[in-house]
């Protein structure tokens, strides 16, 4: 069964910005899924719509089969959200922050207390239960938001940039915790602009850019494609068709150019040997970043810019 099904989702804000231009996504129950993309790609808008904080312009969203337009309460009961911005009542105690959320989902009495303790312990905040949220460090506030999102034990947990600005040690312990709850059966979707985070945690990945999904595949497949190199060869003579070369993909381009794609298992000597055997002479060669690589270079630049 799908934990999340999104069809042709669009969002145009009042200022005319088209944040989502028709996205489709299916996330299976039990998956650990990354939504990766640069700033402004539309990730937060998509999560806002899924959690019914943002009105969509068009399309449908289903959470475990419950359409958010028709069965909002049932959909919400399946969903826990950890937003990017800290949205805690800072004057509330840590314990009450989680207990109030439990109450909102209809938990009461002993069960409510049990859940509050379970998740505050799991996120190493139990000792701080009587302190105001205000007194917590940034990393603890984020953990408190995770405990709050989990207290009604949602089947789908969505985290928006869970480790942005969190130091490396806390990041790793958060990763361990998320892996554990995923293994225990919770479907997890996270947005990130750290490829390393997606690579370490997620089985499947969608890459969103400019309000469109530009990749939706298994993580291993995306990494494999990322490690393919593309070269553009300028040839001395025009070819009528792209040559078939063992271990390489080739495409003809205008102006006597040939594009050659190679994986890590082949080398350039082999490429030149096969070209020579076919009498193809090369005048010059340049490296062409593939689309994914360009995307990630762009992300790294942005990340550098944010720091
Ligand atoms: P991401 O989370 O990937 O950084 P967002 O969903 O926040 O992307 O933003 C997508 C686009 O929508 C951006 O161009 C952003 O400026 C615009 N946007 C986001 N929120 C609003 C809003 N409340 N009003 C107008 N434009 C918005």
Residue 293 pLDDT more than 70? no
Q: Is the CB of 44 under 6 A from ligand 1?
A: yes
Domain match, 283 and 158 both: no
Domain match, 64 and 153 both: yes
Asked if 105 contacts 152 with a C-beta cutoff of 8 angstroms, the reply is yes
Q: Is the CB of 17 under 6 A from ligand 1?
A: yes
We report the CATH number of the domain holding residue 73 as 3.40.50.300
Crossing angle (nearest 10°) for helices 138-150 and 94-104: 30
Domain match, 264 and 183 both: no
| Ligand 1 atom nearest to 44, measured from its CA | 2
Q: Is 255 left (phi over 0), alpha (psi -120 to 50) or beta?
A: left
**So what's the pLDDT on residue 292?**
64
If one counts every other C-beta atom within 10 angstroms of the C-beta of residue 232, the result is 15
249-260 pLDDT, tens per residue? 999 999 999 999
Q: Is the CB of 210 under 6 A from ligand 1?
A: no
Asked if 88 contacts 133 with a C-beta cutoff of 8 angstroms, the reply is yes
Domain match, 61 and 166 both: yes
Asked if 125 contacts 94 with a C-beta cutoff of 8 angstroms, the reply is yes
Using a pLDDT cut of 70, give the percent of the chain over it: 94
Domain match, 16 and 96 both: yes
3-class DSSP state of 286: strand
Domain match, 213 and 253 both: no
**So what's the pLDDT on residue 298?**
58
**So what's the pLDDT on residue 212?**
94
The answer as to whether 295 is a domain residue is no
C-alpha–C-alpha distance, residues 304 and 286, integer Å = 26
Q: Which structural domain range is residue 265 located in?
A: 229-288
pLDDT confidence of 301, banded at 50, 70, 90?
Answer: low
Task: Say how many CA atoms lie within 13 Å of 202 toward its Cβ.
Answer: 30
37-68 pLDDT, tens per residue? 888 899 999 999 999 999 999 999 999 999 99
- What global pTM score does this model have? 0.82
Q: Which residue has the tokens 């890459």?
A: 207
**So what's the pLDDT on residue 304?**
43
Q: Is the CB of 40 under 6 A from ligand 1?
A: yes
CA of 51 to the centre of ligand 1 (A): 16
Domain match, 244 and 217 both: no
Residue 225 pLDDT more than 80? no
Q: Pick the residue with more confidence: 220 or 77? A: 77
CA of 45 to the centre of ligand 1 (A): 6
**So what's the pLDDT on residue 307?**
32
C-alpha–C-alpha distance, residues 173 and 52, integer Å = 30
Q: Is the CB of 133 under 6 A from ligand 1?
A: no
Atom 16, ligand 1: which residue's CA is nearest?
40
The answer as to whether 17 is a domain residue is yes
What is the distance of C-alpha 236 from the center of its chain?
44
Atom 21, ligand 1: which residue's CA is nearest?
13
Name the least confident of 194-203, 231-240, 297-306. Answer: 297-306
If one counts every other C-beta atom within 10 angstroms of the C-beta of residue 160, the result is 21
Q: Pick the residue with more confidence: 174 or 114? A: 114
The answer as to whether 114 is a domain residue is yes
Number of domains the chain is built from: 2
Q: Is the CB of 43 under 6 A from ligand 1?
A: yes
232-279 pLDDT, tens per residue? 999 999 999 999 999 999 999 999 999 999 888 889 999 999 999 999
The answer as to whether 178 is a domain residue is yes
Q: Is the CB of 38 under 6 A from ligand 1?
A: no
CA of 288 to the centre of ligand 1 (A): 31
Among 224, 257, 273, the domain boundary falls at 224
Q: Is the CB of 287 under 6 A from ligand 1?
A: no
Three-state SS string over 205-258 comes to EEEEECCEEEEEEEHHHHHHHHCCEEEEEEECCCCCCCCCCCCEEEEEECCCEE
97-147 pLDDT, tens per residue? 999 999 999 999 999 999 999 999 999 999 999 999 999 998 899 999 999
């Amino acid at each position: 069964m799908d934990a999340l099904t999104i069809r042709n989702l669009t969002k145009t804000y009042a200022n005319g910005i088209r944040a989502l231009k028709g996205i489709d996504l299916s996330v299976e129950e039990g998956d650990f899924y990354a939504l990766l993309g640069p700033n402004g790609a539309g990730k937060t808008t998509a999560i806002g719509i899924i959690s019914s904080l943002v009105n969509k312009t068009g399309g449908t969203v289903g959470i475990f089969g419950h359409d958010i337009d028709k069965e909002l309460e049932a959909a919400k009961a399946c969903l826990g959200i950890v937003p990017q911005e800290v949205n805690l009542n800072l004057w509330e105690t840590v314990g009450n922050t989680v207990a109030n959320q439990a109450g909102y989902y209809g938990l009461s009495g002993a069960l409510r207390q049990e859940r509050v303790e379970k998740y505050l312990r799991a996120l190493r905040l139990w000792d701080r239960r009587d302190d105001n949220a205000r007194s917590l460090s940034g990393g603890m506030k984020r953990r408190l938001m995770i405990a709050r999102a989990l207290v009604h034990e949602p089947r789908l947990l969505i985290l928006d940039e869970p480790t942005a600005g969190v130091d490396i040690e806390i990041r790793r312990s958060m990763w361990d915790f998320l892996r554990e709850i995923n293994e225990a059966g919770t479907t997890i979707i996270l947005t990130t602009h750290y490829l390393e985070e997606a690579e370490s945690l997620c089985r499947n990945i969608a890459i969103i850019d400019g309000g469109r999904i530009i990749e939706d595949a298994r993580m291993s497949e995306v990494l494999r494609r990322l490690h393919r190199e593309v070269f553009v060869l300028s040839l001395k003579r025009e070819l009528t068709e792209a040559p078939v070369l063992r271990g390489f993909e080739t495409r003809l381009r205008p102006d006597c150019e040939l594009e050659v794609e190679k994986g890590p298992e082949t080398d350039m000597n082999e490429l030149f040997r096969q070209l020579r055997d076919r009498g193809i002479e090369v005048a010059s060669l340049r490296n062409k970043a593939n689309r994914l690589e360009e995307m990630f270079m762009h992300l790294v630049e942005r990340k550098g810019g944010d720091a």
